[in-house]
Amino acid sequence: MASPQWRSIPTVLFPQEILDKAFRKASKQADLVEDPDKYHRVRKQMVRMTQSAADTIDTTLRTWVDKWPSLNALSEFDRALIDAAVGNDDYRKSLGAIQWAAERVRKISGESESKILRLRDIEGFHAARRHAYGRISSIVHQISPQIIWLGEARDILRKLPSVDSAEPVIVVAGSPNVGKSALIGALSSGEPEVASYPFTTKQLHLGHFIHRRRPYQMVDTPGLLDRPMEERNLIEMQAIAALENVGDVLVFLIDASETGGTSLHEQLSLLREVRNLVTERPIIIAHSKSDLLNEIPEDAEYLLCAISGDGIEEFRNTLIETIGADVIDDPLSLPEDWHVEEMALEPLGTKYEIEQRKEMGNN
């Protein structure tokens, strides 16, 4: 479910490809110049070549800058996810460098044009054009790291999930194999979408269900919590914080059957770590794989079985209630102390009808 804006981003060419494309086009443009006088023809050709090459590069680079969404225009969730995936600082700097290069190339073309118009010999025209090509190439090579970064970032960002943070988001966390993806599947209307997540080979499941025409989106966090927090690097920590602080509610799933391979003890210590990390969202603790449990854990509030569907509908209601998205905007509900002054209302109907109604009321 990569958001459409990433899909529409044009392929990022390698620096040498950009130059080849620009110079090829420029040569074709030069061939179109017609002038019987060689001196004037060559002069026009050389001007045309630098202009055309600069145009192609300028347009290519500027299109990238324009097509990449401005970070400020994105939702908090998307920004956090991009930060975790590619780094928002590098994102800004790379686009800035590319924009700078586009401006430089345009300037070189202008300078080269004035120079050629001042020169008086054919060899000089050629030399000026070669000089301009050299400067343009060196600018493009100078931003090579940024261009390559952009190409790689595009491939990562195209695979990122997109979540509409204006609508409720439920994040499902827990140790590996506890049944996070299965729970999302059981709660989803239709098949959940699957996307890969940066840094892991694991797959991220995204599902949703509709309640009162409102989509409730669900995201799981595979591979993010399968190591102790202190062993994680900064980027992973950001990813965890992003995913878990942005949703409306965090579901922490515990597999007390321990068939997922993590002991109950370890799962509970992970829960403590997550509680420290997720301070601004409600956490709902639920037990998965109820069909495999020999005894019901004492503190189990929600017992779920993703396979048979046991407990799933009640759990859905709990999620809806906890998020409370419907509570505030029911336009038909009236404040509790609302009342009508009986006498303030004009009775409806003719005088006769009003009398009749009064009499009927009295009987």
Ligand X SMILES: Nc1nc2c(ncn2[C@@H]2O[C@H](COP(=O)(O)OP(=O)(O)OP(=O)(O)O)[C@@H](O)[C@H]2O)c(=O)[nH]1
Element (H, E) at 287: strand 283-287
x/- string (CB under 5 A) for Mg ion, residues 197-226?
Answer: -------------------------x----
Element (H, E) at 84: helix 76-85
Minimum gap (Å) between residue 264 Cβ and Mg ion: 19
Minimum gap (Å) between residue 171 Cβ and Mg ion: 13
* Nearest to ligand X of 35, 291 (CB atom): 291
Distance of alpha carbon 157 from the chain centroid: 7
Segment near Mg ion (CB under 5 A); pick from 24-32, 75-83, 180-188, 279-287 = 180-188
Contacts with ligand X by CB under 6 A: the residue count is 18
d(CA 343, CA 354): 14
Minimum gap (Å) between residue 186 Cβ and Mg ion: 13
Segment near ligand X (CB under 6 A); pick from 29-37, 78-86, 173-181, 334-342 = 173-181
Q: State the binding partner of 140 from ligand X, Mg ion, none, CB within 5 to 8 A by kind.
A: none
* Nearest to ligand X of 22, 270 (CB atom): 270
Element (H, E) at 209: strand 203-211
Q: Does 217 bind ligand X (CB under 6 A)?
A: no
d(CA 155, CA 137): 26
Read off φ and ψ for residue 252, nearest 5 degrees.
-105, 120
Minimum gap (Å) between residue 76 Cβ and ligand X: 25
Q: Does 168 bind ligand X (CB under 6 A)?
A: no
Q: Does 178 bind ligand X (CB under 6 A)?
A: yes
Question: DSSP string spanning 332-357?
Answer: T---TT----GGGSPPPS-HHHHHHH
Cβ proximity of 105 and 54 under 8 Å: yes
Q: Which of residues 28-57 bind ligand X (CB under 6 A)?
A: none
Of positions 137, 177, 238, 267, contacts ligand X by CB under 6 A: 177
Minimum gap (Å) between residue 248 Cβ and Mg ion: 20
Q: State the binding partner of 288 from Mg ion, ligand X, none, CB within 5 to 8 A by kind.
A: ligand X
Q: Does 292 bind ligand X (CB under 6 A)?
A: yes
Give the CA angle between residues 69, 75, 76 to the nearest 5°.
120
Distance of alpha carbon 270 from the chain centroid: 27
Q: Does 260 bind Mg ion (CB under 5 A)?
A: no
Of positions 181, 217, 221, 267, contacts Mg ion by CB under 5 A: 181
Q: Does 181 bind ligand X (CB under 6 A)?
A: yes
213 phi-psi bin (left φ>0, alpha ψ -120 to 50, beta other): left
Segment near Mg ion (CB under 5 A); pick from 19-27, 34-42, 176-184, 247-255 = 176-184
d(CA 218, CA 207): 5
Cβ proximity of 175 and 266 under 8 Å: yes
d(CA 305, CA 303): 7
Rg (CA), the chain: 32
Segment near ligand X (CB under 6 A); pick from 42-50, 56-64, 69-77, 289-297 = 289-297
Minimum gap (Å) between residue 80 Cβ and ligand X: 20
Of positions 161, 222, 247, 311, contacts ligand X by CB under 6 A: 222
Which residues, at least 6 apart from 181, have a Cβ–Cβ distance to it below 8 Å? Answer: 192, 203, 205, 220, 222
Q: Does 229 bind ligand X (CB under 6 A)?
A: no
Q: Does 161 bind ligand X (CB under 6 A)?
A: no
Segment near ligand X (CB under 6 A); pick from 45-53, 64-72, 299-307, 329-337 = 299-307
d(CA 190, CA 207): 8
d(CA 168, CA 247): 7
Q: Which residues bind Mg ion (CB under 5 A)?
A: 180-181, 222
Provide the binding-site residues for ligand X, judged by CB under 6 A.
174, 176-182, 202, 220, 222, 288-289, 291-292, 305-307
